[in-house]
Structure formats: structure tokens, C-alpha cells
Amino acid sequence: MEHGFIKVAAVTPKVRVADPSWNAEQVIEGLDDAVAKGAKIVVFPELCLTGYTCGDLFLQETLLRKAKEGLKKVAAHTAGTDTLVFAGVPLVRDGKLYNTAAVLQNGSILAFVPKRFIPNYSEFYEMRHYTPGGRENTEILFEGQTVPFGSRILFDIDAVEGLSVAAELCEDVWVADAPDIEHALAGATLIVNLSASDEVVAKGQYRRVLLSGVSARTACAYIYADAGEGESSTDLVFAGQSMILENGAILAEAPLFEPAVTCADIDIHRLVLERRRMNSFGSVSGRTCFDSGTAPYLRIPLHMEKVKTDISDRCFDPHPFVPSDPVLRRERCEEIFAIQSRGLAKRLEHVGASSAVIGVSGGLDSTLALMVTARAFDLLGIPRKNILAVTMPCYGTTERTHGNARIMADALGTTLREIDIAEAVSLHFRDIGHDPENHDVTYENCQARERTQILMDLANQTNGLVIGTGDMSEIALGWATYNGDHMSMYAVNIGVPKTLVRHLVQYCADTAAKAEVRGVLLDVLDTPVSPELLPPTADGMISQKTEDLVGPYELHDFFLYYVLRWGFAPRKILRIAKQAFAGSYDDAVILKWLKKFYWRFFTQQFKRSCIPDGPKVGSVALSPRGDWRMPSDASVQAWISELDNL
């Protein structure tokens, strides 16, 4: 349970209709299987101790008595374990029959949660047998024990900070006035649903959409345990489509038409952080807390031993900004490309600019920026020749990148201009008294600032805007020359992480109308990422490779996503990074670059505090005017010390 993870399970046992004794054995078998897999919360389907399809047998005293005996047997079996169990059982209270979830732990029955909404349409006729549960909590005397009875009960588990569990049954999630909203507003971070939903054509996909929406809207985890094999097939068939979800994402889904134990590791801390970030979560009629004027919730504190959850079954995409599915990735790239180009088009139109000036180096970022600018000019009906593509070779420029920049500018129909800045930089070295043989940061930054000055002045000459080329990963790490490539008049790539830049350029290559454009784009993709500020090698190759200096961008983008989007602590990010990149980087390398990420991210905030405008394209952004506001002199010590003490 370290770092907020807890393993949970939805179990669909095989049932025999109206045979509670046999069903109790199947529940116990499924429970043992789930516990053996490490599950600490286990959910069974609605009326699993009797079967959902008993019909008028629910009015038989024998069935209800046997169901009670079966429940007692399951409860006794939980003795000695702190696993929290939810099992469906019919229950008589005050002469009325209720469809309930029995909540069990360590040999005890903690509560009964009745179904609030009773369906009585189409194939459902539950009103014939069951009474709806109300909002008010009360009690029931069960085998000489007073047990809480009601739908407004939360089970607060001490082993995971922020873990609070609520229960509902089947139809409760399908209605407009769903209890899940009340549960989430009252503090539930995990909602379990004991269900018996029959299978008809297309209903499975509808369930996925429904439950994903519920989980996302309430920013909670959701365990849906569905009835399956063994239910009566007189009129219906049940497939057992159990699911485990977290904040809208389906973590696990059971195979249909067979008994199954479906497990997943849910991340409670992620949900808590998401709710903390969303200041609108929990707001009720202007209040920022649950409406205390309605029936109060009963909170039952539960102890659970803290154990380290094995999260090997949970997938952490090493490239969280890049969809792994090729079709979705292509759609995402087109969407982002459209956002970038339309954002630029709006800015050009607003300021009345008749041209754009962009420095082209033959690298990934400037290539993407040039493609975006060309699309923006097409949208506005402005000739592409009004795009001034400027190549500015200097000490570190290689023939490969220089040639690619020229070919790309010509192939796109832009106006190419070459300005060799070596002489101007040499004069500047003389003016400031810098030895040109000293290849330090001054040597590098003088070149970057000279290029930016030229671009700005050319923009003034042509009534244009300087288009920024730097991406979000670079500005996160501060890998930009302050008031050099750091500055522009509109930064089209500022919301795009480096790992996604590569796929956007690949997308441009795949959709290029000209073979010449496609060829140069593919060569750009094959070129090492470099600012080319140091002289090439003796054979004319790039000598300065960015990732050798700051670390692999795929690692930094992974860190960036979990630091900004989820606010995870360093140790948690290290843990999931080790799993995500197992086989690609050893643990020591990941730790090294994670420390470097934090150090650069904190010390380089002053550059982010004054970055130019640019379009946001995803859930993670660094604009100081919107998404990320941080003091430039904040200390990184608390984050680094957490990693130092491993």
C-alpha cells in the first residue's frame, strides 16, 4: 500500500440458482483466490449467495434462511484476514425484503447497504420482491448483533491515506440521481457496485462508457462486480462483465461468460491529488463541502495492515504523452497540429502580420515549427513565400542539418535566407573580451542570442512575427538560452513535449504531399538532437548531443508528466519509472536523471516565468499565465532529499 496503491478484486463466481450453501462455497473459493493474489478489497456480484434470477423464490422462507446461513459461513471464513469483502444477499428487515450488500471483515458483518433504486421495467421486475433502501441510515438486528443498515456509509481504511469506500448496487449507477455523486462528495474515493446486469447486444460497450463516465466525473476508483455463469437462462443471459476503473480509465475487465477473479492496483493518492487540483470538485450550491443538510453519513473506521502492494500488473506507459495505438496517435497528431496552426493563424490575423520569421536549423523543433507555420499561412490564404525561413550557420553547424534546413524551406515554398553569423559572433567575443577558444556557456549563448536578434530585426523589417521553435521539455529543463532561443513573438511548440515532437514530425512525413518533403523529414528524424553550438567532429559530424548532457528526453517527459499532472512524490515517480522502463534503463540511471530533472526544473523556473505566448495542447502545460505558477527561487531540497535517503 506504499505510495497509495492498493490491490482490489472483482470476483464473478459460478452460481447455482437458489442454492445458497453451494454458492457460499464458491464465494469462499473466489475470496481465497483473490486474497492469494494480494487483494485487500474484494467485491462479489449482486445477490451472489442466492443467484439473481430466483424470481418468486425470493418470497420463500427457506431460500432466505439458507441465504442467511450462507452469509454467516462466508463471514466466518473472513476471520483472521483484514481484507474488506462485499457480497450480495437478500435480507429481511421490519417485514420487508431488501437487496443488500453485506460488508465483511475479520469474521464480522460490518454493515448492510441496501439497493436504493429498484428497476421494474423491461426484463426487470424487482419491485415485485424488494423494497428500495432509503437515504437515512438505521440499524438491523442480525443474529443478536446490531449492524448498521443504510446506503450512506463510508468505510475509512487507515492503511492508505484518503481511502474511503462506499457501496451501491446495480441500478443505482444507471439512474439520474445516482448515489455515487453523494458518495464522492462525502469523501468516498472508491465506490463498489454489486451488479447483475444481463447481456444484450451492445450493452457491454454502453457499460464501459457509463462506468468510465461515473469514475471520471467523481474522480474516484470504481469496482463493478457483475453476475455471470450459472444464472437462469429462462429469459436472460449474464456474461459477468466485471470491471475495475480509476478516474475514467478501465484498469481491468473480466473475460465474458466464465467465472473470473479480476484484479487491479488502484492508486488512491492519484485520486486525492486530482480532487485537490480540481477546486470545483465538491462544490455544492456555492459551498465547498458536502451538503450537511441532508441525511448524514456514517463513517466506519477500519484497520488494515500496511503491506507493500506489488504493482507489477499495473501498466505505466513509458511515453505518457504519446498514444501507443497507431490510429489514435495519428488522430492525436492531427489534432495537435491543428491546435498549433490555428493558434498561430489567430495571432497573425490579430496583429495584422503579413509575414512570419523563423530560424530553421534542420533539427526537430524548428522543422515542426516551420510545418505549423506553413499550415497557418494556408489557413489564412497568405502565400507561403511570406514565410521568411532563416538559416544562420556558425561554428557548430554541420552540413547535414544545414542542407536539410535549406531543402525543407525550398520544398515548402517559403523564402529562404542564409545569414552566416560567425563574423558577428567573433566581433562580439572581441567586444566583451571572450577567448573564442574557450567553449564555455558564454561561447554557446552568444551564438543563440545573435540568432534571436537577427530574427527579431527581420520581423521588424517585414511586418512579421518571430515564430518560436522551443518545445515544452526544453523549457521544463531550462535547456534554452535566456533571451536567445528562449524568446519569440509566438511559440508554437511550447505546449508539446519532445517525445511528441518526434511523432508530429513523423506524422508530417507520413502525410507529406511531396516526396522531397517526406525524405528530408525522415532524415531530420534520424538526426541526433543538438543545439549545434560547439564545433563538429573532425569528420563533420555533430559533436554536441543534448541527451548526453541533460539526459534522455523520454525519461524527462515521463518525470514531467507525473510531477505536473499528478503531483506525485519523488519516491513514487522513481518506483513507477523503474517499472515503466525496466529493460531500457537500470535503476541507477533512472535515479540519476530524476535528480537532475528536479534540480533543473527548480533552478530554471525564472526562464519559464517570462516565456512568450503559445498554444496549450494537452493536460500538462507550463504557461506562467495559466497552468504553472511557481516562485523562481523555490528550494528543491525537500524533493532531492527524499531521493538522497533511499
Known catalytic residues are: 46, 115, 170
Among candidate residues 67, 75, 66, 88, the one with its CA nearest the CA of residue 28: 75
The full DSSP string for 99-156 is: EEEEEEETTEEEEEEE-S----STT--GGGT-PPP-SS-EEEEETTEEEEESS-EEEE
Q: Please state, as a whole number, how many other Cβ atoms lie within 10 Å of the Cβ of residue 537.
A: 11
Q: How many helices (H) and strands (E) does the chain have?
A: 19, 20
Distance CA 627, CA 634 (A): 17
Backbone angles phi, psi at 225, to 5 degrees: -105, 115
CB 554 within 8 A of CB 499: yes
Backbone angles phi, psi at 251, to 5 degrees: -85, -35
Phi-psi region of 270 (alpha: psi -120 to 50; beta: other; left: phi over 0): alpha
Among candidate residues 116, 108, 228, 99, the one with its CA nearest the CA of residue 174: 116
Among candidate residues 488, 572, 198, 401, the one with its CA nearest the CA of residue 206: 198
What are the beta bridge partners of residue 260? 12
Distance CA 171, CA 207 (A): 12
SS (H, E, C) 291-307: CCCCCCCEEEEECCCCC
Distance CA 517, CA 370 (A): 12
DSSP type of residue 546: H
Beta carbons within 8 Å of 156's beta carbon, 6+ residues apart: 163, 164, 165, 299, 300, 301, 302
